[in-house]
């Protein structure tokens, strides 16, 4: 887990969160990260950056009962994360999808 000092360096003091389950501010991020399951695994995939925005398409394992595929969008201001949006959904394995394609850009297990 990241230390509070690292989080203060990474997140803007006026950090805004757009996930309806997470409050604004650094204290909410510190609390969230401090309460994540010990076996949580994140596999980043495609990263796109343009201007002040960075988008990461990745995969969470251990956040819920099934792996989750997510798109996280970050706005960066003065070198710190100032704002965050996300879209998450349960992963459907490629073998069970209508097109046979993986939902993630990282390998599925």
Verdict on whether the full-model pTM lies above 0.75: yes
Q: What is the pLDDT of residues 48-90, one digit of tens each?
A: 999 999 999 999 999 889 999 999 999 999 999 999 999 999 9
**Number of C-beta neighbours around residue 1 at 10 A:** 12
Going along 1-109, which residue ranges are E strands?
11-17, 41-50, 53-61, 68-77, 80-90
3-state helix, strand, coil in the chain (%, to 5): 15, 45, 40
Residue 87 near residue 18 (C-beta atoms within 8 A): no
What's the pLDDT tens digit per position in 7-58? 889 999 899 999 999 999 988 888 888 888 889 999 999 999 999 999 999 9
Residue with tokens 């994540």: 36
């Amino acid at each position: 887990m990241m230390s509070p000092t690292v989080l203060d360096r990474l997140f803007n003091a006026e950090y805004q969160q757009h996930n309806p389950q997470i409050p604004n501010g650094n204290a909410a991020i510190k609390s969230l990260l401090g309460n994540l399951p010990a076996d949580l695994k994140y596999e980043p995939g495609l990263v796109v950056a343009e201007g002040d925005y960075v988008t990461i398409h990745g995969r969470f394992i251990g956040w819920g009962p099934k792996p989750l595929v997510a798109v996280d969008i970050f706005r960066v201001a003065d070198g710190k994360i100032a704002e965050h949006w996300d879209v998450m959904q349960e992963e459907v394995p490629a073998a069970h999808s209508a097109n046979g394609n993986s939902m993630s850009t990282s390998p599925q297990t």
